A and B are shown apart, each in its own frame.
Chain A
Amino acid sequence: MASLQPLTALGRREATTVTHGPLTISERTDVALASVAARNGRAADLAKAAQKADVPLPGPASHQQGTPYSAFWTAPEMWFVEAPYASHELIVDLLKSALADTASITEQTDAWVAFDLSAHDLTRLLERLCNVDFAARPTGYATRTVMEHLGVYLIKHGPGAARLYGPRSSAESLLHAIETAAHSVW
C-alpha cells in the first residue's frame, strides 16, 4: 500500500516561516477547511444544527473564533469553516454528520495556502497589497480582496495579526508579493 508524504503549498516538507523586520509570515499547514453553503430555504435548519454542533456561522464580513470550529462568512448563506487539521483532517465527513442535509459541504483544505501575518501593526504592509481599510476594520473582520492579481481572503485577528487564504497553486507568488511589500515598507 502506498504511504504518501505531503508537501506544503511551497513545495517543502515543513511549513515555512519568514521574518523581515517586525513582520513574521507563517505558513499554516495545520488548518482543515471546508465550505458550508445552506441548501436552498434551509438556513434556519442549518443555523440550528450548527449551533448544536458548535459550528459558528457569523454574519457578513466577519470571522468567529471557536473550538474546535471557527468560521468566516464568504457569501450569502455560505461560510468557510476552520478546524485543527490533526483532529479534523476529515472535516467534510465530520461536518456532514453534524449538519446533515441542511448544507452542501465541500473540502477546501488544500485549495488554499494559509499565511498568518504578525507585526505590531499590519496597516502599512496591507496598504501596499490590497484596498482593504485594515486600520478602520474591527478585529474579526473577514473579507475577500485581491493582492497582486490573486483573489484572497483576509481575516483580521487584531491590529497586528491577520490570516490570509490565497490560491494554493500561487503560494510562491503570493508569498513573494508579501515579502516584496514588507521589504518596501520595513
Chain B
Amino acid sequence: MTQSHRIEGGQIDRTKTLRFTFDGIPYQGHPGDTLASALLANGVRLMGRSFKYHRPRGPISSGSEEPNALVELRTGGRQEPNTRATVAELYEGLTANSQNRWPSLRFDAMGVNDKLSTFFAAGFYYKTFMWPKSFWEKLYEPIIRRAAGLGSVTREEDPDGYDKGFLHCDLLIIGAGPTGLMAGLTAGRAGKRVILADEDFRMGGRLNAETYAVGDAQGADWAAATVAELSSMPNVRLMTRTTVVGAFDHGIYSAVERVSDHLLTPAKGKPRQILWRIYTGRAILAGGATERPIAFENNDRPGIMLAGALRAYANRWGVKVGERVAVFTNNDDGLRTAKDLQSRGVDVVAVIDSREGGDLLPGIRHLRGAEVIDTSGKLGLTSITVRQLNGRSETIAVDALGVSGGWNPNVNIHSHHRSRPVYDPAIAAFVPGKDGPPGLLVAGAAAGQMSTHAALKTGRDAAIAALDLTTAPELPQAEDAPVGITPLWHVAHGKGRAWIDLQNDVTVKDVKLAKQENFTSVEHLKRYTTLGMATDQGKTGNVIGLAIMAELTGRSIPETGTTIYRPPYTPVAMGTLAGRSRGREFKPFRLTPSHHWAKEQGAIFVEVGNWLRTQWVPKPGETEWRQSVDREVLATRKSVGICDVTTLGKIDIQGTDAGAFLDRVYANTFSTLAVGKCRYGLMLREDGIVFDDGTTARMGENEYVMTTTTANAVAVFRHLEFCRQVLWPEMDVQLISTTEAWAQFSVAGPNARKLLEKVVDQDISDAAFPYMGAANITVGGLRARLFRISFSGELAYEIAVPTRYGDALLREMLARGAEFDPIVYGTEALGVMRIEKGHVAGGELNGQSTALNMGLGKMVSKKKDSIGMVLSQREGLTDENGYRLVGVKPVDPQAKLTAGSHFLEKGAAPVAANDGGWLTSKVYSPHLGHDIALGYLKGGDKKIGQRMRIVNLLAGLDTEVEIISPHMFDPEGERLRG
C-alpha cells in the first residue's frame, strides 16, 4: 500500500523505508515516524474501539496524552496492550493489532453497546447490578470483566530485562522543548551537571511541529543545533525517550528510559527499559502544554483531531490527515493550523471560529461566531454540520477536522506533592500553584508562558534562578504572540452525545447526570463518571469536564478545582517497576560453605531467608524424602552426623563491659561465665516475649561470641547495636557480625569426638574439653574454634574454620572419619532431632510466647535487670494455667499428627471456647517409630500423662493423643554429656 497521505517535508528519513503491519495488513513508513503518523500517512484513520461503547476511534493527538489510538504492540511474550500509537516509534518489522473489538476493527459486535447507550450512562454499574446481591460475584462481575478492559495481556513470560539505576545532577530539566533547551544551554554553558530528559525520541518539543523561526533558523533547526551543542558538553546528559514520571521527596525524581522500545528486540544483554531514580539539587519543569478539544455532538469520529496535532502531523511527519480539512477553534492557535496546512497545499475548506468579530484569515473561509454542532461518517469523518452566527446550519464535507479548545499547561509533576494548580483566566487554563516540590521551578508553556519567546526567556531565567548563575546566553529572536482565547468548553446545540473523556467514553450528559445526583465535587465526578481515569489520566478531558461542572453548578472554575495529580505521569509497565527482581533473580542467594559439596551429592536445598540450606542428602535408591531423613537421623544417633550450621548468626562482642552488656540483653546471666565456656541464652523483647535464643561463648576476658537463630541473625544484631548506641552508650562494647567469616559444622553422635580427634590438633577428651566447653584450637595448624554444644541431644560439637576452608574441612572429616560411617544431615533431620529433644525453634519462637510458655521460666533471672524481665512478670504472662510447652504422641502409633491442630478435651465440642492450645511442630521420629509433636497447651505442665484429642477441622483430623514431656529422647541428657 502506498503512503497516500504523505506530503512534502517533515523530519523523517525518506531514504529508508520501514515495513510494518497493523491488524495483519502490511504498510510502509520511515524512520522518524510514529505508528500513528505512519498509519495516517497510509490513509488509516481508524485505529481502535472505545472502552465502553466500542465506538470507532482514531488518534486525536500526536503525543503521550493520546486517549484513543491504543493498540497491542508486538506478539508473544513481548505483546504489550494499550500502547499509544502516537508515541510508538516505528521500526522495521513492527507488528500492531487493534484491541477492544471482535471480530474485527471495522465490524465490532460489541458496537451494540453504542445502540444501548441509554442504559450505560454514568453510575450504570452501581445501579443495575445491585440485585440480587448474590449475583454480583458469580454472574455480573465475570461478565463485566470479560466485556470491559482495554487490550489483553500475554500469558507468556516477558523475555526482556529491565534495569534500575541512579543518577545525580545539579539540575534536572524535564522536557526538551524551547524552554528546556534554553535552560539546558544556560546551565550547561555554566559548567553545571545537567540532565535534560524528554519523553520524545527527538528533542525540540513543539519546535519540531511548528514552522516559525528561532533566531535566524527554523525552530526545528535551532533545536537540532542546540542539542548538538549540549551533547558536546561532558557535564550535560541528554536523555531522549525518557519520561520523568514522578516527583518524590528530597529532590528525587523517577524517570523511565525506553532503551529498546524502538527496536524489534533489545540487543543482547541490553534492557528494554530503565527505571531511573534521579537525585538533583534543583529541577525545572519544562513539560510544555497539552491542547484540549471542545465537546460537541459526535466529536469522536476518526479524522477529528486536536488542531495542533493536525499541524504536527503535517509539519513534523509530512502527513496530511485528510484531503478536505476544517478547523474548529476558540483561540488564535487554531488559526495557525489552518495557515500551516494551507501553505502545505492541503485544502482547508473552512475555519469555524467560535469567537465573534475580529479579523478574518485571508484566503480561507473563516466563519466567526460559528460552532460545529454535529458530524457524520460511520468509520471515519465524512462531514460536519456547522451552525453559523446567524443560526443557519450548513453541512460541509470534510475528512479531517482540527479542534482547538485552548492549551493546558502540563502541571502534573509540579502537583505531585498535592500543590493545587490555580486557574488563569487570561489563558483559560490551570497553571502551577504554590507549594510545589521544593527546588522545582516551572518555566515555559508548563507555567502558562505560551509564546516561543516566553518559553526561551523563562527557561533561561529558571536556570539562572535555580543555580544562582551570573552569566547566561543571549536569547534568540522568536515569536511572542499573545494568547487570544474566548473559552468554549462544549457546544450547547445538539442532542446527541458530546464526548469529553474519549478514553472512558464520558460525555457531557454524564457530567450533567453526576450533577443531578449531587456528585458535584471533582473527586466525586471522577469516581462517578470515570472521567480522567485509566492510562491517559484525563490529560485532554479533565479540564473540560470540570469546566462543565462549574457551568452546571454556577460555581467558578477555580472554585470547582482539579482532582489530585499523582505519579506516574504516563503509564509504567509492571516489569519496569520490578526491574531485575523476578524469577531466579528475585533476590540474591546466600550459599553455605558446604554448598558445592552438597550440590555434588545431589542434595535437596531449602530457602531459609536468602540462604540455601541442605534439606536432606538423598542416597542412591532413596525415592522418598522420609527415607533420606530417617536414615540421617538414625545414622547420627547411631554413630555420627555432620550438619552445616554456618547460617546461624555469629556476633563478635568485645569490650570491658561485654559481660555486663550480655547480662542486660539476655534474660539469664553471662558475666559469670568462665572463659572457655559457653551457655545457652534466652533473649527477650522489651515486652517480655521471647525474641531469640542461642549459645554464647566466652573466648577471652573481654571477648564473647554470640550465636543467634538463622532467621533472627540480622534482627538481633540490629537490636544489639540499638542497645549499644542508644540505650547504653556509656558501656565499652563493640560489636561486629562474623556470621560469614567462619564455616561452622555441627558434629553430632556417639562417635563425634572420635571423628573430631582425627582432624583437630588438641586433646578434646571429656576431661580436657567437657560439656559446654569453648576454645580456639587448630586444625592441621589452621586457626579454628570448637564449641561443645548440642541441639540434637547427642554428644555434639560445633567446629569452625575460616570460611574458605569450610568445604575442605567437611571433606576432611568425612574422609578421615570414614570408619565411623559419618553422614551429612540437612535441616529436616536437624528438625527431627531437636523435636525429639524438646528444643524450641521457629514454631515455638513465634513472637507470642514467653520463657514461661516454653518451660524456660527459670532462665529469666530476677537478680539483675535485663530487657523484658519486668514485663515478662505481667499478670497476663504468668498465669499458672497459661500455655506450657508439652510433647505429644498419638495413642495409636499409626495415627498422624498435624502441626496447627488444636488440643481439645475428650468429648468437647470443637469450638473456640474449648480450645486448649495447638501443636507448634510435628515430625515422624524414626527412633520412636511414630509421629511426635511439640505444642503449647494450657496448663500443659500439669497434664503430662493425660489423654486428649488433637483436632484439625481443615484436615478433617480428630486424633487421641497422650501429653508427654517435651524431652522425648534421652530426657536425662546422658548422651550429650557422654
Contact = CB atoms under 8 A, between A and B. Distances in A.
B596 A11 contact: yes
Interface string A79-111: 000000000001000000000010111111111
A111 B738 contact: yes
A106 B700 CA distance: 13
A111 B593 CA distance: 11
Nearest to A132: B166
Contacts of B719: none
B269 A3 contact: no
Interface residues of B, number: 68
Contacts of A105: 654
A39 B781 CA distance: 31
Contact of A150 (B588, B732, B759): B588
Best-surrounded residue of A106, A108, A168, A183 (most CB of chain B within 10 A): A106
B734 A39 contact: yes
Contact of A4 (B163, B588, B731, B809): B809
Interface in B545-574: none
Interface string A37-63: 111110000000000000000000000
A6 B741 contact: no
A106 B738 contact: yes
A124 B929 CA distance: 62
Nearest to A41: B732
Contacts of A104: 652, 654-655, 702-703, 734
Interface string A112-147: 100000000000000110111101100000000000
Given A6-B805, A11-B595, A174-B588, A110 B741 contact: yes
A153 to B, nearest CB: 13
B168 A136 contact: yes
B596 A7 contact: yes
B740 A184 contact: no
A131 B279 CA distance: 9
B163 A35 contact: no
A150 B809 CA distance: 28
A55 to B, nearest CB: 16
B650 to A, nearest CB: 10
Interface string B796-807: 000001111111
B164 interface: yes
A109 B741 contact: yes
A116 B914 CA distance: 64
A170 B279 CA distance: 28
B740 A128 contact: no
A14 interface: no
B580 interface: yes
A161 interface: no
A154 to B, nearest CB: 13
A109 B809 CA distance: 18
Contacts of A8: 804
A103 B716 CA distance: 23
Contacts of A4: 779-780, 782, 801, 805, 808-809, 812
B742 interface: yes
A86 B738 CA distance: 21
Interface of B: 161, 163-168, 193, 268-271, 274, 277, 279, 580-581, 585, 587-593, 595-596, 610-611, 646, 652, 654-657, 702-703, 730-734, 736-743, 759, 761, 779-783, 801-809, 812, 816
25 contacts: A1-B780, A3-B780, A4-B801, A5-B808, A6-B805, A9-B803, A11-B591, A40-B730, A40-B731, A40-B732, A106-B736, A107-B738, A109-B741, A109-B802, A110-B803, A127-B165, A132-B166, A133-B168, A168-B740, A169-B646, A169-B740, A170-B588, A170-B590, A170-B591, A181-B163
Given A4-B808, A39-B734, A110-B803, 16 more contacts: A2-B816, A4-B805, A6-B804, A7-B593, A11-B591, A39-B656, A90-B783, A106-B736, A128-B163, A128-B165, A136-B168, A149-B587, A167-B590, A169-B592, A174-B588, A184-B271
Interface of A: 1-9, 11, 29, 35, 37-41, 78, 90, 101, 103-112, 127-128, 130-133, 135-136, 148-150, 167-174, 176-177, 180-181, 183-184
